[in-house]
Chain A
């Protein structure tokens, strides 16, 4: 069966909206509830963060969500269980985003096996070195038809972009600027000139832009450059502020249609 992420990128070339949620946040059993809501709102892709005590690349909003989820006793075993028992109703492609230590302790082989069993289509492990991906992860990921998504930033060298393009499928996660998550992106200038370079490389992969995308105009700007965007901290904040997900997603999309 074709991987759901590949299927998505085949069917949809632009304005892909990916939303990040933290597993077990704000309450332990909210994971599937949040997925259901986002699915109903026709979001294209969901990234589920595995809570970790020391998330190096994350800003205060996602740190706090991680902390709450850990206090709620969320863990990888439980998350897979939640996903497994809802797999019939979850149609939307799911990507797990987690730091390597959590996955190491779970067991790498078992991790990819459980991903497949629970309809997880991709994983983002931001602190996984490429060499270690090749030697310890690639085999199990491919065996289970799970896609590893890698990150690049506007500062990534061309040589390394080509390397990452060669091991990625079907998309590369473009970090909007050199900054941790949740710092609102001040300007698209650097990204625009980066995309000039990127387009010239004729990569085989599609791209989504993430980090610092928090409102409709940024989403629109990102969508002009990439195939879509990923929103994390801003959505988590909206949960914290008890804003209905429907309003948040409609704001992101509705304002966009006005701007167009």
Chain B
């Protein structure tokens, strides 16, 4: 199977999806971004890149991941529910699709030092993994607060040979880790910045979306085999920055039939000031080099978001999603911590699959839809729940 599909090129040549995107960067990053922008499309369209990428996704990551018909969940909701099993990818989440792609780009550009940011540690682990594989130096910035919350992932990164540097600025979480990673890139322009989501300055959102688009191209082919249809009625995916959702939506963005549902983390509720539902609470603004929707004060100071799920508490959202949401080509819902926890235990008991807390938000959103019994729903199960066992144990009584 060919995993790189040349599909809808949504952003224009300057990296805008409608009015969102672009590259809002200090002059110090101009050359770094230009080097990437001038080369990425050419690199990823070469035969050697396609061959390496396809081979690694198949034999290293374990693709294609199954599209599993969830019988019991389908009976519960009285519709046809499929789970796209990204949780079965090597390292436990969809994040590795992107790091495989970008590490090949980094190698093609002759880079030997890789910088990444991470929140909960999933992208950090996926980056440390490919750096170990390619024998490249790896530096991961992680908020000091997150380091203490995610000890296992920190240990995994260290065992893989990465240097984990605590981000001590600001609120000491993902937003600040991203700032620190970008500052490192300013100081070390010969390094490669391997961003973890469909955020950041152009061309990152486009490049990451392309690497994650393997999710929806597989869904398309697998639905054909299962149901003899190529487009589902709904695709549901959780959204922090939005990389798994971008990948799950990608092939269906122009579909007249498929309703795209992004699910943000409402945290303790959108009226509580402890939330990460950017599309509801945010305003147009600039964060980490792109124009998008950003949670901020009226003065333009970025607000620290909250969610029980460390992978969803980002105060921005990828510009693709800002565009899809504002132009009503996709719908963005939000579910609370409690709803996500409930959905996680439900899936575990009904199907014997422990989902990541992030993915549990997507599952919880089925409750917000009113599907017909003939409707085919694909939920992107972006990651597995191993990393969340502490949280599950704290919140659920058995």
Question: Interface residues, chain A, CB within 8 Å of chain B?
Answer: 51-54, 56-57, 59-60, 63, 67, 70, 75-77, 99-106, 126-129, 131-132, 150-153, 155-157, 160, 175, 178-180, 183
Contact = CB atoms under 8 A, between A and B. Distances in A.
Given A67-B170, A175-B28, A178-B28, A56 B298 contact: no
Contact of A105 (B170, B182, B296): B296
A127 B169 contact: no
Given A105-B296, A179-B186, 18 more contacts: A52-B301, A54-B170, A54-B302, A56-B186, A57-B26, A57-B183, A63-B170, A101-B286, A101-B294, A101-B302, A104-B286, A152-B27, A156-B30, A156-B31, A157-B31, A178-B28, A178-B189, A183-B187
A160 B25 CA distance: 15
Given A101-B296, A104-B285, A179-B186, A128 B301 contact: no
B243 to A, nearest CB: 20
B179 interface: yes
Contact of B27 (A131, A156, A180): A156
Nearest to B25: A127
Contact of B287 (A101, A132, A180): A101
B28 A53 contact: no
B187 to A, nearest CB: 5
Contacts of A67: 170
A222 to B, nearest CB: 18
Nearest to B169: A63
Contacts of A127: 24-26, 286, 289
B224 interface: no
A180 B27 CA distance: 11
A106 B301 CA distance: 11
B22 interface: yes
Contacts of B26: 56-57, 126-127, 151
Q: Counting chain A CB atoms within 10 Å of each CB, which of B22, B24, B27 scores highest?
A: B27
Contacts of B28: 57, 151, 153, 175, 178-180
Contacts of A128: 24
9 smallest beta-carbon distances between A and B, as pairs: A105-B300, A102-B300, A57-B26, A151-B27, A75-B299, A101-B286, A126-B26, A53-B301, A127-B24
B183 A53 contact: no
Interface of B: 14, 22-28, 30-31, 169-170, 175, 179, 182-183, 186-187, 189, 283-289, 294, 296, 298-302
Contacts of A70: 301
B14 A131 contact: yes
B299 A102 contact: yes
Contacts of B186: 56-57, 178-180
Contacts of A59: 183
A29 B9 CA distance: 50
Contact of B179 (A56, A155, A160): A56
Contacts of A102: 299-301
Nearest to A57: B26
Given A153-B27, A156-B27, A101 B285 contact: yes
11 contacts: A54-B302, A56-B186, A57-B28, A100-B286, A101-B300, A104-B284, A127-B25, A127-B286, A127-B289, A156-B27, A156-B31
Contacts of A178: 28, 186-187, 189
Given A54-B179, A56-B179, A60-B169, A105 B302 contact: no
Given A54-B170, A105-B296, A175-B28, A155 B189 contact: yes
A52 B303 CA distance: 11
Contact of A150 (B27, B189, B289, B294): B27
Contact of A129 (B22, B187, B284, B302): B22
B283 A105 contact: yes
A104 B183 CA distance: 23
A62 B182 CA distance: 16
Q: Counting chain A CB atoms within 10 Å of each CB, which of B14, B22, B26, B31 scores highest?
A: B26
B200 to A, nearest CB: 11
A59 B26 CA distance: 13
Nearest to B301: A53
Contacts of B187: 178-180, 183
